[in-house]
Amino acid sequence: MAWGTTAPLAVRMRPTSLDEVVGQRHLLGPGSPLRRLAAPSEGASGPAASGQSVILWGPPGTGKTTLAQSIAHSSDRRFVELSAVTAGVKDVRQVMEAALSDRDLYQRSTVLFLDEIHRFTKAQQDALLPGVEQGWVTLIAATTENPSFSVISPLLSRSLLLTLEPLDDDDIAELVGRAIADPRGFDGRIALDDDARAQLIRLSSGDARRALTALEAAGAHALDGAEGAEGGADAPVTVTAEALASAVDRALLRYDRQGDEHYDVISAFIKSVRGSDPDAALHYLARMIEAGEDPRFIARRIIVLASEDIGMADPQGLVIATAAAQAVQLIGMPEGRIPLAEATVYLATAPKSNRSYLGIDRAIADVRRGDFGRVPNHLRDAHYPGAKRLGHGKGYRYAHDAPHGVAAQQHLPDPLVGRRYYEPGAHGYERDVAARLERIRRILAGDA
């Protein structure tokens, strides 16, 4: 292992060609846009001179920068890399001017890789348009946020959107094995036992950078501890699951998104919100976030919670939950943790009611066992020819014409008259609903 370099393991292990890239097979087939970009350019005016500009969209650690740099190593095009974190309009214009000069003077095309394009303002993205539209540069832009919201429409319409997927367990295992054996990595000086390898793969959550960062910490820790120990100088040092957990300081290594821990933690989260304990709810939320749980999954569960456990006791809970889910979709992670936490605390501290949930389940149970009747004539559609002759709509009372906006009238089918599905509770807003509904039901029955 090249201990003299300060470059992180994830940087040292970056592929030098597309053939070395692990994962994203759906983007790397023969003749794909990325393969064409990596092919020889045949001059500035040849058939492969300019490629289709692409936007790479995917979670962190899925290979966006790796793909761009692999293209840079494989192609004879001039390759320029900018980060939207540090670059500005001036930098973009300088790249465009140089690209135009290279094309006209040296018949050499330019590929511009722009990392984190979502951090560019509209004005900064506008500066890219002339070069992309005129073919001075082929743009490869990378983003972790939805391009529909973070990239201006003119640039999006001139680019091909390629979606990267989280790496699967086999991909991560291949990357880890390569980093252990490769001279750029540990050069065979360490070995992982089976439990450590499985835990490292789970920890990565499909993120190659996270996996290699954890491996680097664990490997360095193991090698430091082995100095001066007895044993063959050439024997690899074994990294155990305990050593891995100690090195990366992650108690969440046991969290498995497909296993028992996944279901146990989300169950504890739901029950903590239902039990009105915001501290416990935030704890389990943090465990899911740090373990790499899909934030969309968390947001969906929060929406269900808002309806199932808060319900009519605080109808605003569903609004807050839905807004949090939309916010996560718009801004991504890690900032998405903030609206998720706000919704969690709101729901945990809100009054609770499951009466709406119980009501629909009772109604569905009646329908499934055939306990229903025909729609009363006065409620049936009376707008088509011949409907009135059948008695449809006859006797219907328009509620807005009645005192208090409620008319004495039957709405349930005859066999279900008097059936109660929704019985409001005594907490929060539902307490007010209970008093009002009691008066409404008396009017509907003609008792008021």
- Are 33 and 139 in contact by the 8 Å Cβ rule? The answer is no
Nearest to 184, CA basis, from 192, 193, 175, 173:
175
* Residue 3 clears pLDDT 70, i.e. is over it: no
Q: Looking at residue 261, what is its pLDDT?
A: 63
| Tokens describing residue 377 | 């004539």
The percent of residues above 90 in pLDDT, for the chain, comes to 21
What is the rounded CA–CA span in Å between residue 60 and residue 164?
10
Q: Are strands 160-163 and 190-192 parallel, antiparallel or unpaired?
A: unpaired
> Band of the pLDDT at 217, cuts 50, 70, 90?
confident
**Range with lowest mean pLDDT among 242-251, 298-307, 327-336, 391-400:** 242-251
In the numeric block, the tokens 């350019």 are attached to 41
pLDDT tens sequence across 60-100? 888 888 888 888 777 777 888 888 888 888 888 898 889 88
In the numeric block, the tokens 């739901």 are attached to 270
Would you tell me how many other CB atoms lie within 10 Å of the CB of residue 164? 20
* Residue 259 clears pLDDT 70, i.e. is over it: no
* Residue 42 clears pLDDT 60, i.e. is over it: no
Kindly report the CA angle at 127 between 121 and 131, in degrees rounded to 5?
A: 140
- Between residues 227 and 26, the one the model is more confident about: 26
In sequence order, what are the residues at sequence separation of 6 or more whose Cβ sits closer than 8 angstroms to the Cβ of residue 201? 169, 172, 173, 176, 211
- Are 140 and 113 in contact by the 8 Å Cβ rule? The answer is yes
Would you tell me how many other CB atoms lie within 10 Å of the CB of residue 26? 11
- Are 421 and 360 in contact by the 8 Å Cβ rule? The answer is yes
Q: How far is C-alpha 284 from the geometric centre of its chain's CA atoms?
A: 18
- How many helices (DSSP H) and strands (DSSP E) are in the chain? 19, 7
Q: Dihedrals φ, ψ of 143, to 5°?
A: -150, 145
pLDDT tens sequence across 338-397? 999 999 999 999 999 998 989 999 888 888 888 778 888 877 878 777 777 788 888 888
| Tokens describing residue 11 | 């940087």
- Could you tell me where the beta strands, DSSP code E, fall in 116-175? 137-143, 160-163
Q: Dihedrals φ, ψ of 111, to 5°?
A: -110, 125
